[in-house]
Amino acid sequence: MTKYVYRFGGGVNDGEVAGIGGDKNLLGGKGANLDGMAAIGLPVPPGFTITTEMCTRYYADGETYPESLNAEVAAGIAHIEGVTGKRFGNAADPLLVSVRSGARVSMPGMMDTVLNLGLNDETVEGLAATSGDARFAWDSYRRFIQMYSDVVLGLDHAAFEEALEVAKEDAGFTLDTEMSANDWQALVAEYKALVQKQWGKPFPQDVHEQLWGAIGAVFGSWQAERAKVYRRLNGIPGDWGTAVNVQAMVFGNMGETSATGVAFTRDPATGENAYYGEYLINAQGEDVVAGIRTPQYLTKAARERAGAKPLSMEEAMPETYAELARVFQILETHYRDMQDIEFTVQQGKLWMLQTRSGKRTAKAALKIAVDMATEGLISEEEAVARVDPAALDQLLHPTLDPKAPRDVLTKGLPASPGAASGQIVFDAENAERLNELGEAVILVRIETSPEDIHGMHAAKGILTARGGMTSHAAVVARGMGRPCVSGAGGIAIDMEAQLLKVGGRALKAGDIITIDGGTGEVMAGEVPTVQPELAGDFGTLMIWADKVRRLKVRANAETPLDCKTAREFGAEGVGLCRTEHMFFDAARITAVRQMILAETEKGRREALAKLLPEQRADFTAIFIEMAGLPVTIRLLDPPLHEFLPHGDGEFAEVAEAAGVSIELLKRRAAELHEFNPMLGHRGCRLGVTYPEIYEMQARAIFEAAIAVAEQSGEAPIPEVMIPLVATKRELELMKAVVDAAAQAVFADKGRTIDYLVGTMIELPRAALMAGEIAEVGAFFSFGTNDLTQTTIGISRDDAGRFLTSYVDKGIFARDPFVSLDVEGVGQLIQLAAERGRATRPDVKLGICGEHGGDPASIDFCEKTGLDYVSASPYRVPIARLAAAQAALAARSK
Ligand code: ADP
Ligand code: MG
Ligand code: MG
């Protein structure tokens, strides 16, 4: 017969005896830790836990209990009676209990706790007599009726609150504490009348009926709408179930020597190793959190820092406080983590009601992990495993000063973290112009496109009205480390009037706004920020992470500044240098357009000759920053039409540079139009049709590499990457172009350098044919953005419109452009890695694209045995930590 009830407290610990004392899966988080605390001798009121298994069975059996549960619950009550010497339902000396829900993970949405269960018209008199405090007894009874009616009977609690308000008003009181025993007793009568009226039955007087009602309500709350919503949002399976905890009441509301409080063993905001908490004298349960009275500080130091008058617990109850501090130490040592604790003091005696690992800010998580490892409480590896890599994101960017006031205009998506303030500008040109004048600007667009890149670079932050988390603005901003709020649907942009309209207000170009890319908030005016701290704890944790990491971490970077940032963040090379961004530069775009629109090879070569010195300068600057490290340069990739001129003015500029007519150019531009550019004339298809483009780029790479080698004595290691290859032959042709350029430059300069030619694997065919492709390519870089797009057949530029529903409906667990679709796309990567290695055992394997900075995807890369991941510069530390965690996880298998 399955055991469903586990007792704890008073020297009995069924969970410990059964060896499942700490098992949150069976006892729920609260139950497991109540059991755990009782087992190590801490003062825990006795009680019992009905397991989560019972909850699951309850639903499987059509919301009924097995026969055996009655006896088990009765034995549980008998246990509590034995320890406390009180009897459940006994009129002379009644036992009161709390009934508390407790799933595996803390879950708002579950039933609220019912306190003081076991009170009725008779037992309330007994409680008054044994406590010698009638006021306390009637206060407890009215609390019980109110809570029970609300959470178990589901009655309208506003009516109860109103009755209390009216009672106080009639008596001329403002505080609950002014109410006398008689006042409470009168209110109880009113409450009972309210129950009769709303529920149609009298308030249950039978304590067993009360108990089973509460147990049923806890199990019932597992399938409540709000609990389901919470589970869906947090990926909690529906079959976990909740446990029920029934526990002897202890009373924090028995006068001035009683209190209730919550505490953290370290500061959950800063991580500082100092107790942190609040308490209330003569109060019960959730009074502290409910804000009925202003709680007092736990420690003297915190009270003094806040300049508050009411005594801290340390001062008001020094002995109990010392006992509590001792318990904090024991709990931290036992659970080896910062604890979030609930306690009650009944007439000077301390009781522990809950402990769990405390939630904390990213900053605190980092500090606590490093401190605990330094203190010897946990190992360095555990410290590495404990910090959520994604949370580091918050720490690597300036953040809003939490103390500063905010005038929030609206909220969009938190697309790229960090906070920034600046003048509103509505176009990239103005952003660049004002930036050159030393002004801070926020670029505000309906949405952004590749042409806005220079403006995004010039801006301190980006705000868009449309577009999701993987929109152009979001992806590019993350890559650049610019804060970005995207999809702020609450704003309207009037380009003509140069106005930003939001919630009935209108802001002009030049007005200052602040955006917080970590929360999505958009605020009027400047909100001060605080700078990130990269040395200290952060640096220490990174060193520990690097000790266990196997995967190398590179950066996606295409400017010297990006490279510098990436190196400071610990990048071990460039995994993806996209050359097209260089083409958008204002000084070059005309030559680029001339090249694209040329009708002959000769025309193209003329334009390319103008670009060669510019490209060489780009690569030289990058190689200098990345001296001694590998740099993967991807030759031109995007559809040519992205570079086309727009207005007449731009056509005229190109016409003049090329010495041809505007009409001719316009005709040529029309010819370049494509129906489906993503699958069109792009990637190596450009190099196949116009080899001179790749030839120029390769030449620029080798000339730059040799120049840097000669200057610095440290040769860079260029890895020339051919994009969008589907066949071995394409790569062969392109490799021949690159090799010929290399030979020509080497002959010219009289020296050689090492280099590699490889390809991106971003088409399913390339993955399938990887064995053959590896005969030519020395490395593969998985271009998972395009590989996801081409494998699933979802356009990433259009996915925003429907992908959210796909995630909501569970078709994809997460946006496959953010976190790699390991199941599907992952198979192609595994297969390509295997086939590539079978042909060429030392083929270098890496991943570039958004996934290179996503911890779950990095874990997959570790499992697949890739050599490196490449992430945007600001995500390099995240990738280093995630790679270390992946290595630890692999090792523990
Ligand atoms: P939650 O999950 O919302 O924190 P709890 O079950 O922890 O709910 O209960 C909330 C509060 O009720 C506790 O912090 C404590 O103050 C009070 N409480 C619960 N059980 C008891 C008890 N046996 N004696 C006294 N107070 C209790
Ligand atoms: Mg609660
Ligand atoms: Mg609690």
Q: Can you give the C-alpha Rg of the chain in angstroms?
A: 34
Mutation choice for ligand 1 from 8, 27, 211, 344, CB with most ligand atoms inside 8 A = 344
Q: What's the confidence (pLDDT) of residue 289? A: 61
602/241 Cα distance (integer angstroms) = 73
Q: What's the confidence (pLDDT) of residue 227? A: 87
3-state secondary structure 420-480: EEEEEECCHHHHHHHHHCCCCEEEEECCCCHHHHHHHHHCCEEEECCCCCCCHHHHHHHHH
- Residue 285 Cα to ligand 1 midpoint, Å, equals 5
**Which two three-digit tokens encode residue 195?**
């129950």
Q: Nearest-5° angle of CA 518, CA 522, CA 524?
A: 135
| Residue identifier of the C-alpha nearest atom 19 of ligand 1 | 98
Q: What's the confidence (pLDDT) of residue 292? A: 61
Q: Nearest-5° angle of CA 136, CA 141, CA 145?
A: 150
Q: What's the confidence (pLDDT) of residue 466? A: 85
In this structure, is the dihedral angle defined by the CA atoms of residues 72, 74, 77 and 79, taken in order, positive or negative?
A: negative
Q: What's the confidence (pLDDT) of residue 438? A: 83
548/380 Cα distance (integer angstroms) = 10
Closest by CA position to 513, among listed 548, 537, 488: 488
Closest by CA position to 142, among listed 161, 156, 169: 161
Ligand 1 atom nearest to CA at 106: 2
Q: What's the confidence (pLDDT) of residue 658? A: 82
Ligand 1 atom nearest to CA at 288: 16
Ordered structural domains, the chain, with CATH? 5-248 (3.30.1490.20), 259-357 (3.30.470.20), 397-528 (3.50.30.10), 550-891 (3.20.20.60)
With 0-12 CB in 10 A as exposed, 13-18 as middle and 19+ as buried, what is 206?
A: exposed
Q: How far is CA 834 from CA 769, 829, 838, in A?
A: 11, 9, 6
**Which two three-digit tokens encode residue 257?**
């020597």
Classify residue 138 as left (phi > 0), alpha (psi -120 to 50) or beta.
alpha
| Spatial CB neighbours of 187, under 8 Å, sequence gap ≥ 6 | 142, 163, 164, 167, 179
Closest by CA position to 523, among listed 511, 535, 534, 533: 511
Classify residue 695 as left (phi > 0), alpha (psi -120 to 50) or beta.
alpha
Strands lying side by side in the sheet with 505-508: 491-494, 499-502, 505-508
220/323 Cα distance (integer angstroms) = 38
Mutation choice for ligand 1 from 48, 353, 355, 359, CB with most ligand atoms inside 8 A = 353
Q: What's the confidence (pLDDT) of residue 291? A: 57
29 touches ligand 1 (CB under 6 Å): no
342 touches ligand 1 (CB under 6 Å): yes
Relative to beta strand 296-297, strand 276-281 is antiparallel
571 touches ligand 1 (CB under 6 Å): no
How many CB atoms neighbour CB 811 within 10 A? 10
Amino acid 172 reads G
Q: Which residues of the chain have pLDDT under 50?
A: none
Which residues are marked as active site? Answer: 472, 848
- Residue 108 Cα to ligand 2 midpoint, Å, equals 7
285 touches ligand 1 (CB under 6 Å): yes
250 touches ligand 1 (CB under 6 Å): yes
Mutation choice for ligand 1 from 115, 139, 242, 254, CB with most ligand atoms inside 8 A = 115
336/314 Cα distance (integer angstroms) = 24
